[in-house]
Amino acid sequence: MKKYLGISVLLAAWWLALPAWAMATSPDTLVDNTAQEVLAIVRQDKELQSGNTAKILDLVEAKVLPHFNFARMTRLAMGKNWSKATPEQQQELVKEFRTLLVRTYSNALSTYSDYTIKVEPLKSNAADTDTTVKTKVMDSGQQPVPIDYSMEKTNDGWKVYDVTVAGVSLVTNYRSTFNSQVREGGVEKLIKTLADKNRSLVAADKKASAQ
């Protein structure tokens, strides 16, 4: 699961340096038009390929995250428990969940340069404000892995609010874990668990960089 969710981050990273006209482009065309350009960048960047954590995180922070609606993703992952959180707790949850996803999957940028992606044309019309971009990730000798992006059209362009890998939704996958944490110790326990996990990932990155 984590492996292919990592690929989803790579696909999202293809939306680099979007010109203003891209705001009006359909999401499938947007992904398809920029895919080969960014694949070439990853393939030519030795630091990215070698797993330079700082550079990968900078790339994700600057170029990938603006295309995700982490507030909605967190709200969906929380489900009915979202209303149990105070506004301050909701902000903390969004921050920690965002950090967790970035830390967990950003290293995919260094390992998927040999993959190819097929983006299926959308069967929707220009008036749609919510759609799903269907893709297939292909690696030589392996079965294609379907990765679907649930997207909404906002004033700032199209935003991803869920990723479904081989039929498994990211937000649904996290919802069971979040529900369990809230049942055991309330929203504060969930926030603490996420924060502890993020600290452990940072420590692991530092240890890897020192070796």
User: pLDDT tens for residues 129-179?
Assistant: 999 988 888 887 788 889 888 989 988 888 889 989 889 999 999 999 999
Is the CB of residue 64 less than 8 Å from the CB of residue 9?
yes
E-strand spans in 64-172?
116-119, 130-138, 145-154, 157-165, 168-169
Q: Which domain holds residue 174?
A: 2-210
Q: Residue 122 gets which letter from DSSP?
A: P
Could you tell me the pLDDT band of residue 14, with boundaries at 50, 70 and 90?
very low
Q: What is the CATH number of the domain that holds 143?
A: 3.10.450.710
* % of the chain exceeding 90 in pLDDT: 36
Q: How many domains does the chain have?
A: 1
Residue type, 140: S
H helices then E strands: how many in the chain?
7, 5
Q: Which two tokens stand for residue 132?
A: 């799903």
